[in-house]
Amino acid sequence: MKPRTRRKIPRRIPAQARSKETVAIILRAAAQVLVEAAPDQVSTNLIAKVAGISVGSLYQYFPDKGAIFAALVAERVERTGRIIGGRALALLGTPLPDAVRGLVRAQFESYQDAPELGLALFEQITRSPALQRLLIASYDSIIALVTMCLRAYTKELRVKDLDRASYLLVHAVDGMLFATVLLRREYLHDERFISETADMALRYLVDS
């Protein structure tokens, strides 16, 4: 039997407004450090310095930098789920082309906010099994939302395995977006590019 791994969580639950603000300051500082500093320079000391607090104060809320990264990833995952989940629910009952375009646009929106931070966090995720599990759970939730949305259009769809179709669509668009952040970041806000990506997804789903 594999030993149970302890989940990294903040040491203190920020119940008071001042504590919540301190946590927010730490996370903003960590995001800045991740984007601006070389990976081997990222440390709790540097994060505390940028946050304007002592490293001892930082440790009252986070036991190490891994816990800080986990909190940043959790924030981003929650935001992505909120954007795509809200859009999926709002699109129910709309024509299929509108639903597909809306879902694709939601994925674009999830990448448009602080793409540099997204890349920096992805680098940390590749080094941490715990963060990888968090990301996988996020993808599973998004795929389930897309599947739920597609079920309303089963008579119009060429594909029959909706779970597989949703998996393919989410990861195909997400992989393209990751490459776009690396290579053609201006495309993230390009309406024609967003529309053509949605058209590509729609052609996969229906008979031409």
> What pLDDT, in 10s, does the model give residues 26-48?
999 999 999 998 878 899 999 99
Confidence at residue 101, expressed as pLDDT on a 0 to 100 scale: 95
For residue 177, what pLDDT band results from cuts at 50, 70 and 90? very high
Confidence at residue 45, expressed as pLDDT on a 0 to 100 scale: 96
Mean pLDDT computed over 89-110: 93
For residue 3, what pLDDT band results from cuts at 50, 70 and 90? low
Domain with CATH 1.10.357.10 in the chain: 69-205
Confidence at residue 14, expressed as pLDDT on a 0 to 100 scale: 53
User: Given 3-state DSSP classes, what are the helix, strand and coil percentages for the chain, each rounded to the nearest 5?
Assistant: 75, 0, 25
Q: Which amino acid is at 110?
A: S
Residues ≥6 apart with Cβ < 8 Å to 152: 92, 93, 99
Residues ≥6 apart with Cβ < 8 Å to 136: none
Q: Which CATH architecture has domain 17-59?
A: Orthogonal Bundle (1.10)
Torsion over CA: 155, 193, 86, 164 (sign): positive
pLDDT higher than threshold 60 for residue 143: yes
Q: Which residue has the higher pLDDT, 158 or 92?
A: 158
Domain with CATH 1.10.10 in the chain: 17-59
Measure CA of the first residue to CA of the last residue in the chain; give whole Å: 52
The model's pTM is 0.82
Pick the CATH number of 69-205 from 1.10.357.10, 1.10.10.10, 1.20.1250.20, 3.40.720.10: 1.10.357.10
Confidence at residue 40, expressed as pLDDT on a 0 to 100 scale: 81
Confidence at residue 13, expressed as pLDDT on a 0 to 100 scale: 55
Q: Dig out the tokens for 44 from the structure.
A: 């709790």
Q: Which residue has the higher pLDDT, 127 or 15?
A: 127
Q: Dig out the tokens for 82 from the structure.
A: 């909120």
